[in-house]
Amino acid sequence: MAASVSRQVLGGGEAFQVDVKSLGLELRRLWQENAQEGTAITRACTRNLVAICGGEDEAARATETIGALAGEHPARAFVVQATPDPARLEGFLAAHCALRAGGRHVCCEQITLHVGAEMRRRAAGAIVPLLVPDLPVFVWVVGAPRWDDPLLQRLLDVADRLVIDSRTAEDPPAFVRDLLGARRADAWAPGDFEWSRLSDWRESIASLFDEPGTRSLPARIERVEISYGKGGSAVAAALLAGWTLDRLELARSHAGKPGAATAKLAAGEDSSPGAIASVCLYAGAERPACTVAFEPGDSGLTSRVELDDACALPARRPFADQDVVHLLEDQLDVPRASPLYERALARAAALLSS
Amino acid sequence: MSEVAVSPFREGLAREVAPPPSTIVIFGATGDLAHRKLAPALYTLRHEGQLPSRFAVVGYARSAFTSEKFAEDLKESVKEHTRVAFEPRAWDEFAQGVSYVTGEFGDAAGFERLKQELERVDKERGTAGNRLFYFATPPSFYPVLFQNLENAGLLDEPEGRFARVIVEKPFGRDLASARALNAEALKVADEDQIFRIDHYLGKETVQNILVFRFGNAIFEPLWNHKYVDHVQITVGESIGVEGRGKFYEEAGTLRDIVQNHMMQLLSLTAMEPPVSFAADAVRDEKIKVLRAMPVFGPREVAERVVRGQYGPGSVSGEDVPGYRAEPGVAPDSLTETYVACKFEVDNWRWAGVPFYVRAGKRLPKRVTEIAVQFKGVPHAIFSRPGSLPVSGVGRASGDPNVLALRIQPEEGISLKFGAKVPGARLSIEPVKMDFLYGSAFGAEPPEAYERLLLDALLGDSTLFIRKDEVEAAWGLVTAIHEGWADAAPPAFPNYEAGTWGPEAAAELLRKDGREWRRP
């Protein structure tokens, strides 16, 4: 079992206000004061994380998430909270600590900035010098990204990863197009909560082709049909279809087989809005060659090969927690670009605009 | 050999290859190992989608169980020991592939029944004739198990199928018995069918020794006799024999810890860079280390090896009995519960660098660590006459740089170095830079048995021990046993439970001008 970990915020449990111009000084003072209290503290930092939030609610959610990850993904974290007062720029400091078995505290800092519309460039100027050198910079846009935001633009100059959630997109085709347009090959790489939500789907689809009797099947698949919940974004379905098509194309290429599979996204009533209900892969016949779906009354995914000669048993896979803590954790685990995601995204863009 | 699945769909996923359809047969299926370690590990692998859908578990033991009763017992063990959530539905699916055969290990008829059961499982579960046999039995049964598997034709590997055997430690009890056992096994199976397990090698932090050494450019240039003063390896346990007195009377610490875990840690620490992370490339380098370690004669045993046995004392605030008062232990037992040795690795890299190792029961804490202590600075500028007053690293008795690789608990790496204390006075104090495995990586590491079972199903023997490694390690350990046999009986008990071992162990380092670390 995991070591017991409890969380706390140093300094009486509240963040304290500091002068934005002297944030670096205040950070040093924070640790010096706590070292003097004699507590056995290990400061740990494996990355920089800047959360750009729209308002108080989003900032509270980001703070909660960062705190929950402090013990296992310690970061120097910045939470940027937009405020109605355009000229406001205030800073607050806090330390998230995880108390591990043996009484050892593992701590990391959070700097919260309340930033008005006119102060966003200045806020970036306060954040960039405080980024811990030699460690990756993750910029997490908690809501929908605004590409013309000077704060985001300035941070993307130094970012390694931009983490977004394409489920928040009001106009999915435009969202994907803008994301691909903003991406510079030599700079930050995009990460997407929606891609993390698809992990179990991708594992389940991959498991269809693990066994000797089904290994050659991908080269025969001609059509992919993905059903998702009506009334929600089709981004998840498009991303999964994009990934599946990309993998099928590679399988065909390995097998020396010409042609390409096609994909169809179908909105239905079987799932909550936007959530994927099933994946069916067809190899020429009316009946799918294999499927991945939630079976009635089950929270896990079941993958089935329907071909008579394949001799494969259905396989079930639990469907992992998909709260924001797990999604962010999944993204933080990948410090570099994911070519698979980017290829899937490019295909998703084509599917969404067709 | 059966090939593992390689699919474009697996690229970038948690596991890029998947094991083929297969059946695992557990001999000693009603025992502690099967219930506490193997069944939970298999359930977890299944739960995480790492096992093929066509997978089965067949238990084999003497107890007259039905398959249903066996599955029910495993379920209770899994509930208690699994590190993932127990899901009744997932268990029910797993249990569909669980069955049991009653039989003696030496009973040919029992193996015929096993063969029939495996044929039935292949037919009904589609497990394709791939078999992984796990010997979770006392070692004395290994020869007969190998022979009966051979007699029943169960070690045959027709085209595209595999038949592998996992053997638990101890593999022999001395060099002669290890050689004899290897000879018996290799009469009926090829070396690449035999997976000798030391669960230490399945631990993430043990594998991290190789990553740390060979995945970073900055440490390897220092990793030799020019910069390293000595190495200390500690495998300490705070527990006693925990009801296994009878077993421990036969084993002792030298056989139980030093021959396997300790030798593996030492060879991973001292080995040369392998040409790749392939099984034989890694094991070729490990065996070179063991071969470079001189086998002790009686004089070296007397001078370089300390044995101990704990008497009554106090551990973690509780009074505990001495070893001789443990159940199953003779009141005049001469079995060692503590060993400290000074080994050397006579090769170009390590000439003159002692490897001090110690392992014991009822020590103050449970800890496994490898500590590399570096030499002092060549010229101590901070302690020159007439310079500012100093303390710390620059002094002759100051703190050396130490790199500690902690295997358990609090897995991680720490580096101790000297830093100037702020102020006008030039005072140097040791500071420690810590990397805690659990703080840097979110994912909980898999249990050692999960990793090793999966590797065996995939046919990857990198983390298993080869015949020549086992024999080389036994060669070193058997020489110590022989030295002890020729010496006067030790005056046991010679250390108090809850202390770091006998005084003679401290003296072993003291006479070299060194001291044990307090881990």
Q: Does B123 touch chain A (CB under 8 A)?
A: no
The answer for residues whose C-beta is within 8 angstroms of residue B185's C-beta and 6 or more apart is: B142, B143, B146, B165, B167, B194
What are the pLDDT digits (tens) for A223-276? Answer: 999 999 988 889 999 999 999 999 999 999 988 988 899 999 999 988 888 889
Tell me what pLDDT residue B2 has. Answer: 46
- Residue type at B90 in one-letter notation: A
CA distance B428 to A192: 48
Within a 10 A sphere around the Cβ of B220, how many other Cβ atoms?
13
- Nearest of B41, B188, B40 to residue B111 by alpha carbon: B188
End-to-end C-alpha distance for chain A, whole angstroms: 49
pTM for this model (two decimals): 0.80
Could B434 and A42 be called an inter-chain contact, meaning their C-beta atoms sit closer than 8 Å?
Answer: yes
Q: Which of A72, A212, A251 sits opposite B439 (nearest CB)?
A: A72
Give the residue-averaged pLDDT of A154-158: 91
Q: What is the mean pLDDT of residues A6-29?
A: 61
Closest CA to B304 of B445, B462, B487: B487
Between CA B292 and CA A238 the distance in angstroms is 59
**Cβ-Cβ contacts under 8 Å for B16 (sequence gap 6 or more):** B6, B10
Which residue of B36, B44, B45, B53 is the best one to mutate when testing the A interface, meaning the one whose CB has the most A CBs within 10 A?
B53
User: Given a cut of 90, is residue A299 above it in pLDDT?
Assistant: no
pLDDT in tens, A20-43: 667 777 777 776 666 655 555 566
Query: Is residue B125 within 8 angstroms of chain A, CB to CB?
Result: yes
Would you state the pLDDT for residue B507?
A: 95
B190: its two tokens: 């090829």
Q: Give A135's pLDDT tier (boundaries 50, 70, 90).
A: confident
Among B359, B404, B35, smallest CA distance to B200 is for B359
B316-351 pLDDT tens trace: 778 899 999 999 999 999 999 999 999 999 999 999
Burial letters B325-351, b for 16+ CB under 10 A, else e: ebeebeeebebbbbbbbbbbbebebbe
Chain A residues touching residue B5 (CB < 8 angstroms): 209-212, 215
Choose the mutation target among A195, A200, A210 for the interface with B, i.e. most B CBs under 10 Å. Answer: A210
For residues A151 and A144, is the Cβ–Cβ distance under 8 A?
no
d(CA B51, CA B56): 10
Q: How confident is the model at residue A279 (pLDDT cuts 50, 70, 90)?
A: very high
Of B11, B21, B442, the CB nearest to A329: B442
Residue A107 to residue A104: CA distance in whole angstroms: 10
Q: What is the least distance, in Å, from the CA of B29 to any CA of chain A?
A: 24
Q: What is residue B83's predicted lDDT score, i.e. its pLDDT?
A: 85
Q: How confident is residue A75, by pLDDT bands cut at 50, 70 and 90? A: confident
Q: Do B5 and A215 touch (CB under 8 A)?
A: yes
**What pLDDT is attached to residue B325?**
95
Angle B108-125/B142-151 helices, nearest 10 degrees? 60
The one-letter code for the residue type at A12 is: G
Q: Which residues contact B112 (CB under 8 A, 6 or more apart)?
A: B152
Which pLDDT belongs to residue A103? Answer: 56
The two most distant CA atoms of chain B are separated, in Å, by 87
pLDDT at B389: 44
Decide: A303 and A291 in contact? Cβ < 8 Å. Answer: yes
User: What is the phi/psi pair of residue B433, to 5°?
Assistant: -105, 125
pLDDT tens, position by position, B53-100:
889 999 999 999 999 999 999 999 999 998 888 988 889 989 999 999
Query: Would you please indicate which residues of B are annotated as catalytic (active-site) residues?
Result: 261
Judged by a CB distance cut-off of 8 A, whether residue B63 touches chain A is no
Are the C-beta atoms of A332 and A47 separated by less than 8 Å? yes
What pLDDT is attached to residue A13? 47
The per-residue pLDDT for B393 is: 38
Q: Does B434 touch chain A (CB under 8 A)?
A: yes
Contact A333, A191 (CB under 8 A): no
Give percent above pLDDT 70 in chain B. 94
Amino acid B376 reads G
The CB density around residue B248, as the number of other CB atoms within 10 Å, is 24
Q: Do B439 and A42 touch (CB under 8 A)?
A: yes
In the structure, what pLDDT confidence band is assigned to residue A104 with cuts at 50, 70 and 90?
low
HSE-up (13 A, CA, CB side) for residue B226:
7
CB pairs under 8 A between A and B: 109
Q: According to the 3-state scheme, what is the secondary structure of A218-264?
A: HHHCCEEEEEEECCCCCHHHHHHHHHHHHHHHHHHHHHCCCCCCEEE
The Cα-based distances of B133 to A333, B146, B172 in angstroms read: 36, 10, 19
What per-residue confidence (pLDDT) applies to A35? Answer: 60
User: Looking at residue B377, what is its pLDDT?
Assistant: 83
ipTM greater than cut 0.85: no
**Helix axis angle, A324-332 to A56-69, nearest 10°:** 60
- Contact between A263 and A282 (Cβ < 8 Å): no
Among candidates B53, B438, B443 on the partner chain, residue whose Cβ is nearest the Cβ of A315: B53
Burial of residue A144, with CB atoms counted within 10 A of its CB: 0-12 exposed, 13-18 middle, 19 or more buried:
middle
A3 — pLDDT class (breaks 50, 70, 90): very low
Percent of chain A scoring above 70 in pLDDT = 85
Strand partners, B5: B18
Task: Tell me which residue in B14, B20, B126 faces A311 most closely, judged by beta carbons.
Answer: B126
In contact, B198 and B259? CB cutoff 8 Å: no
Interchain pair A71, B439: CB under 8 A: yes
Tokens of B227: 């910069």
B302 touches chain A (CB under 8 A): no
**Which residues in chain B come in under a pLDDT of 70?**
1-6, 383-398, 436-445
Nearest chain A CA: its distance from B317 CA (Å): 15
